[in-house]
Amino acid sequence: MRLFGLFLTLGLAGVTSAAIHQSWPDWWWRIQKPTPEALFVHRLQPFVEQTCYECHDSRMRKGDFAIDRLSDPASLQRDREAWERVLQHVSNNLMPPAGADQPAPEDRAKFVSALDRALHPIDPKRPDPGRVVIRRLNREEYKNSVQDLFGITFDPAADLPDDDSGHGFDHLGDVLSLSPLLLERYLAAAEKIAAELIPDPMPPPRIFVAMEGQWKGSQVGPSGRASEGMLTWKVTTPAEGSYKLKLRVYEDAAGPEETRFSFAIGKTQVAGLSAKGSRKAPREHSYDVDLPAGAVELQVTFLNDFYEKETATQPAQDRNFYVESVKLEGPYLRPGQKRPQGKLPAWLSQRRPEEAQEAWLARAFTLVMRRAFRRSPTSEEVTRLVTLMIHSQKAGDSVPASLQLGLQAILVSPDFLFRGEPPASPNSGERIVRLSDHALATRLAYFLWSGPPDDHLLSLADSGKLRDQLAAETRRMLADPRAARFVDNFAGQWLEVRNLPLRTPDRKLYPDWNKELALSMKEETLRFFADFLTNDRPMLDLLTADYTFLDARLAKFYGVKAPSESGFSRFTRPEGRRAGIFNQAGILAVSSYPNRTSPVLRGKFVLDKILGTPPPPPPPNVPSLTERADKKKPTTLRTRLETHRSQASCMSCHAMIDPIGFSLESYDAIGRYRETDDGQPIDSRGKLTTGEPVSSPEELGRVLATARREEFYKNFASTLLTYALGRGLDYYDRPTVEAIIRQAGAQGYTLPAFIDAVISSIAFQYQRNEAPTDAGSSHAAL
Amino acid sequence: MAPLHRRQFLRGIGTVVALPFLESIVPTSVLRAAGSAAAPPLRSAFIYMPNGVNNDYWWPKGNDRNFTLASSMQPLEPYKLDIQIVAGLGHTKANPNGDGAGDHARASASFLTGAQAKKSANDLRLGQSIDQVIAAQHGAKYRLPSLELSCDPPRQVGNCDSGYGCAYSHNLSWRTENQPMPAERNPRLVFERMFGSGEIIETAESRAARARQRRSILDFVRDDARRLKAGLSRDDQGKLDEYLTSVREVELRVASFENFSARPDQSLPTGIPDNYDEHIRVMCDLLVLAFQTKSTPVATLLLAHEASGRTFPHLGITEGHHSLSHHEKRPEKLEQIRKIDTFYMEQLAYLIGKMKSIKEGDGTLLDHSLLVFGSGIRDGDRHDHVNLPVILAGKARGAINPGRFVDYSATPMSNLYLSMLDLYGIQAERLGDSSGRLRLV
């Protein structure tokens, strides 16, 4: 996140190290005294002229970039992206390139700070809620929406392609694209869902094919074959009616008689048929048969097997009978059969006596659309949908088929698939506008339930009371079982334990690892996080808690007594193991390689995921670990890393990363406690750049929860806000994040307090009032 | 009693021995319907392996027609005269060019686009990939404009590469500069996409009814989307445009599905095989099937995403591929990379062999196709993008003379693509960072 990364890199560039660890100083945005223009003239331009012009003037244009297009204050707005790149490059020490004259560290720092202020002016009196791009439902949200709307546990989402992710989450509007493949899948999913929800008692005719593996009989070959015996095929018919049975058969003729067979299915029995046909040109026998709905068995019997051994005068005589394929086509209405009437699902309002079909459909589908679109549909929308269904009937579809079609149209509609957020008063002329109550209800529901708002939420939005009852409504939602999805999706992704079942640790080194264990580890962390929700726990406990949740499998893995015989129960850890997530196997495993631990990965995990200060990427052309002076001396990973760190270009970052990782070295790559590694005693001593010793998970947790608590809170608030909004944060979100921390702090920094603070934040409640653009803009692809 | 004549019909194709299954379930009528009359069209596939190779065991000894294959390429020995080993191609847009770390994301992003990925976790910007240029031009004549396949496991969460969105390292194919084409990794779904689903087949009548219903839904939602779009800001409209474009393309598919009525009687009853090599081979089978039935003019196959940390337990490799690729010149790591490279060459050999075994017109499917196999990184320890490991296979209808080791010395890989577009009769001035055309030999 740029928000915090910048401070880190500033620190590297030579500003006092305190700047790394303090919250952004107030003057950063409060004192806007130097205008962007003044900053440009006094700070930016002189630095640029002195430092960049040599290669990036209009003549040299190195890297195809001429900085002279950034020669006036207006370019800060006009050429914002170019300036952002300048900021990124200069602050990350990427420019000027190695070998070129370098500016003094303090000049670089001043330039970076000035450019940051000029590019990112923040006016606390004019807060900016940002704008969330229209978001399509991701796979998870799609599945949950179908489940919550229609009460079926049905997972067409398994057929949907992977969602792309960004900022560590898979539901960001910017990166969720909609490809033709995905739309095809949405159509297919809608067909499956509609067929399950509104069963058609007389579905359109299909062809049922006897598949390999379904045949039973004396000899079973490629697609079934009967020789001297009987073949059976079990098929499930969808409805009572007439079916066309098509048998393709052939024979090896031999002996005096024709090859004869019989078949029986349902009440139909036909005997004495002649097979005829050859392997190359099988003969098709076609019959109309009446069948009931449900399981039906077809029996095909070869009646007159014949075999004579070869003799002196003639070769062997072998009569055989083969069934090449069997197809059953139907159902069709029998002459005189009445089309059966199906039962409609409970969520669809029943037709009243005397009610015209159009009126009924409009009434029933208004309710469906309201829930699916998360707002009341307009009468025009309802009329169009009813027209679609009536047309379908006129084209020959049955009533259930036409209702299915209506439902499919809802499920493929952009109003269902996308979460648009119309503002409450778009034409007010205001710079920012409140979200409509329905948009707010939708944000809330997908934040806390990863699913659609329920009727209660929608009613509150309808009556305009949602904002009055926001706190109570949040409580209700968090107490609902659907809040478990928040834990899964937020904590599972933030702390990366969702990856556990996909991990493949070395089986030889870690024979105990298996999928069940991985799932238990994931569950431990998720239950632990869920406990913050249900028991109102302060977030710092994440780093220092003396308890966790274990099942028997994990207890065995940790070598402790299981707290209960079945399922997960709370477990109080022994002394020396009281470091919240840092004692959890799942966390330690996801930050390891498959065959060894990595202090670098673990250090980076903590810096990035817990403190929100990810180390900058390594500079280009890092010397590799092997290019060390003495190649003969045996070295441990630790000493090799220490050597690596002694190189100036590596030290600045690895001095931050590695000690954190070392403090967790007492746990192997699947998170099991160890005292030795490869025969060597574990050395878990570490020291943060700020001097605090960290030599165990407990010490690490304690130090982070005290000396680094501000960063922890800031990171947590930012991560939660990113998740709640479904967009990456930007510089203008800084005041929002600050406000969230303040508000949560007033209520003890508990998880529910953070959630409340996010929900009441300006970014969650408001959006920029951006005028709709002309629909025929250059973006239009059609 | 006589013995069973036919090849035993195997259950599922989750096992290696079962692989011939695919051929057997597509009736010859389909294969006949798909081809014959006119000259077979050119079909190309782009196959990607991540993390670079062990270069000591990759490059052949010798030159042009006199070369011997190095150790990693031994599996290709039977097909030595069917391949062209290419040196000297590179992707300068995979270099940082001022953007710092992130060579893996850039390597796969630039591989088929020749474009510089915008460094952002959520504001994706790249360029159209060559397969999508081909699809846009010729796709409408096929069941599928293009086919995107992947053998990667499900996505893991977390950030992908140094500030680049995960889309860059997981998608080879980009329909527009900001819309990746997600790849399918489930063989069953790939098959269904081409030929419809299930052991339950629609009658012609039902299929026509369903096509009508789908069209009416698409009409309906298009109107919805247009109305919705009118009130939106520009970024939102971009998302709705994606939707509308997809509606349009699916409509074409619905129409073409009716035209391509010939289809196999039976479906592919399988999901994703547990073993990686089986997964790759099933995907290769499907790729071949798609080409054989002329279902698509172009395909991409992502063997694993860039920077993949996949382990290869069946080769005794339990360290992740990416981590190994940072070999620090250590012999034991380099040896494991060589094994992985060899493994991928075995898969390529399988694909080449399969295509070569299929007669088409007066030659084979391989004669009328072009496979481009490669990695966007040369050496994983150096993250360099020059002199990439690239292998061409097939004759591309006579445009390529295989059986050679060719060095194009420091030429943009995009030049190859531009020349490939020529073969498709597509007039393009440039693709990505192309500086001209490659003189194909």
Alpha carbon of B416: minimum distance to chain A alpha carbons (Å): 24
Interface test with B, best of A181, A379, A774 (most B CBs within 10 A): A181
| Residues of A in Cβ contact (< 8 Å) with B155 | 162-163, 165, 170
Is residue A378 classed as helix, strand or coil in its secondary structure? coil
Residue B32 confidence (pLDDT) above 80:
no
Name the percent of chain A lying above pLDDT 70. 89
Tokens standing for residue B82: 């069917």
pLDDT at B315: 94
Size of interface A-B (CB pairs under 8 A): 308
Instruction: Give me A302's structure tokens.
Output: 């070869």
- List of chain A residues whose C-beta atoms are within 8 Å of the C-beta of residue B310: 504
pLDDT value, residue B1: 32
Q: How confident is the model at residue B101 (pLDDT cuts 50, 70, 90)?
A: confident
Q: Could you report the per-residue pLDDT of A514-544, keeping only the tens digit for each?
A: 999 999 999 999 999 999 999 999 999 999 9
Query: What is the predicted pLDDT for the residue at A780?
Result: 33
Quickly list H helices, A198-287: none
**Structure-block tokens of residue A558:** 């940790």
Res A57: pLDDT: 83
Residues of B with CB below 8 A from A88's CB?
100, 119
Q: Which of A485-494, A737-746, A747-756, B253-262 has the lowest mean pLDDT?
A: B253-262
Q: Pick from A159, A420, A506: which is nearest to B318 by CB?
A: A506
Q: How confident is the model at residue A778 (pLDDT cuts 50, 70, 90)?
A: very low
Tens of pLDDT, residues A82-133: 888 888 788 877 788 777 888 998 889 889 988 988 888 887 788 899 989 9
Residue in chain A nearest B24 by alpha carbon: A222
Minimum-distance CB partner of A168 among B157, B213, B230: B157
CA A274 to chain B, closest CA, distance in angstroms equals 19
B200 contacts in A (CB within 8 Å)? 206-209
Do the beta carbons of residue A285 and residue A314 sit within 8 Å? Answer: no
From chain A, pick out residues whose CB is under 8 angstroms from the CB of B324.
none
* Chain A contact set for B4 (CB, 8 A): 219, 221-222, 225
Q: Greater confidence, B10 or A702?
A: A702
Among all chains, which residue has been given the structure tokens 């040369």?
B378
Contact at CB, B246 and A92, closer than 8 angstroms: no
Residues 6+ apart with CB under 8 A from B303: B47, B48, B49, B50, B151, B152, B280, B344, B347
- C-alpha distance from A531 to closest chain B C-alpha (Å): 23
Taking an 8 Å cut-off on Cβ atoms, the answer to whether A418 and B240 are in contact is yes
The pLDDT assigned to A619 comes to 63
Cβ-defined contact of A620 to B100 (cutoff 8 Å): yes
Residue in B closest to A328 by C-alpha: B200
pLDDT value of position A6: 41
CA distance B251 to chain A (A): 10
Q: B122, A728: Cβ pair inside 8 Å? A: yes
B interface test, pick of A94, A179, A413, A607 with most B CB neighbours within 10 Å: A179
φ/ψ of A215, rounded to 5, equals -75, 145
On whether the CB atoms of residues B379 and B400 are closer than 8 A, the answer is no
Of A133-137, A687-691, B13-17, B267-271, give the range with the top mean pLDDT.
Answer: A133-137
User: Token pair 């990350």 is at which residue?
Assistant: A92
As a whole number of angstroms, the distance between CA A721 and CA A715 comes to 10
Token pair 């099942």: residue: A551
The model's pTM is 0.85
The 3-state DSSP class for residue B184 equals: strand
Mutant choice from B160, B179, B215, B237 vs A, greatest count of A C-beta within 10 A: B237
- The pLDDT score that the predictor gives to residue A2 is 42
Category of B300 on φ-ψ map: left (φ > 0), alpha (ψ -120 to 50) or beta: beta
Partner-chain contact B1 A396, CB within 8 Å: no
Q: What mean pLDDT value characterizes chain B?
A: 86
Mutation target to probe the B interface, by most B beta carbons within 10 A, among A134, A416, A432 is A134
Interchain pair B237, A775: CB under 8 A: yes
What is the rounded distance in angstroms from the CA atom of residue B330 to the CA atom of residue B324? 10
A782/B253 Cβ within 8 A: no
Nearest CB among B225, B313, B320 relative to A414 is that of B225
Using CA atoms in the order B11, B15, B19, B24, what is the torsion angle rounded to 10 degrees? Answer: 0
Q: How confident is the model at residue A319 (pLDDT cuts 50, 70, 90)?
A: confident
A617-639 pLDDT, tens digit each: 776 556 555 444 444 555 677 77
| Banded model confidence at residue A500, pLDDT cuts 50, 70, 90 | very high
Q: Which residues of B touch A508 (CB under 8 A)?
A: 318
Q: Go through A120-139 and write b for each residue having 16 or more CB atoms within 10 A of its CB, e for each that does not.
A: bbbeeeebbbbbbbbbbbbb
Contacts of A163 in chain B (CB under 8 A): 155
pLDDT tens-digit profile of B167-199? 999 999 999 999 999 999 988 888 888 877 655
CA of A222 vs chain B CAs: smallest distance (Å): 5
Question: Using 50, 70 and 90 to split pLDDT, how confident is the model at B75?
Answer: very high
Shortest CB distance from B209 goes to which of A88, A204, A728?
A204
- Considering only CB atoms, which chain B residues are within 8 Å of A780? 237, 241
In this prediction, residue B203 carries a pLDDT of: 83
The helix/strand/coil state of A685 is coil
Taking 50 as the threshold, does the pLDDT of residue A21 lie above it? no
> Please, are residues A9 and A735 in contact by the beta-carbon 8 Å criterion?
no
pLDDT value at A18 more than 80: no
Give the whole-angstrom CA distance, residue B127 versus residue B140. Answer: 21
Q: Which residue from B183, B199, B236 is facing A211, i.e. has the nearest CB?
A: B199
Among A174, A205, A209, beta carbon nearest to B266:
A209
Q: Which residues of A touch B320 (CB under 8 A)?
A: 593-594
Tokens standing for A46? 């002189």
Chain A: residue whose CA lies nearest to B204: A206
Tens of pLDDT, residues A173-196: 888 999 999 999 999 999 999 999
pLDDT digits (tens, 9 = 90+) for B298-346: 999 999 999 999 999 999 999 999 999 999 889 999 999 999 999 999 9
Structure confidence at residue A10 as a pLDDT band (50, 70, 90): very low
Which of the four pLDDT bands, split at 50, 70 and 90, describes residue B267?
A: very low
- Cα torsion through A159, A161, A162, A164, rounded to 10: -150
**Contact, B160 vs B108, CB < 8 A?**
no
Higher pLDDT, B160 or B371: B371
**Disruptive mutation site among A137, A160, A162 for chain B (greatest number of B CBs within 10 Å):** A162
Are the CB atoms for B346 and B357 separated by under 8 Å? no
Cβ contact A318–B1 (<8 Å): yes
B221/A414 touch (CB, cutoff 8 Å), yes or no: yes
| pLDDT value of position B10 | 26
CB-nearest to A162 from B5, B155, B230 is B155
Chain B residue at shortest CA distance from A85: B99
Name the residue of chain A whose CA is nearest to B221's CA: A413
Return the number of other C-beta atoms located less than 10 Å from residue B357's C-beta.
Answer: 12
The percent of chain B in helix, strand and coil, each rounded to the nearest 5, is: 45, 15, 40
Residue B25 has pLDDT above 50, yes or no: no
Residue partners of A466: CB distance under 8 A and separation at least 6:
A437, A440, A441, A457, A460, A473
Chain B residues with CB under 8 Å of A719 CB are none
Mean pLDDT of chain A: 86
Over residues A56-71, the mean pLDDT reads: 79
Of all residues in chain A, the one with the smallest CA distance to B158 is A168
Yes or no, beta carbons of B182 and A408 under 8 Å apart: no
CA A703 distance to own-chain centroid: 33
Share of chain A above pLDDT 90, in %: 53
Query: How big is chain B by its Cα radius of gyration, in Å?
Result: 22
Tens digits of residue pLDDT in A410-455:
999 999 999 988 777 777 788 899 999 999 999 999 999 999 999 9
> Under an 8 A CB cutoff, do A771 and B239 touch?
no
pLDDT for position B4? 28
Per-residue pLDDT tens for A576-620? 889 999 999 999 999 999 999 999 999 999 999 999 988 877 765
Q: Which of B159, B245, B319 sits opposite A593 (nearest CB)?
A: B319
For residue B233, give the nearest of A187, A505, A770 by CB distance: A770
A63-67: list long-range contacts, CB under 8 Å, 24+ apart: A63/B97, A63/B98, A65/B98
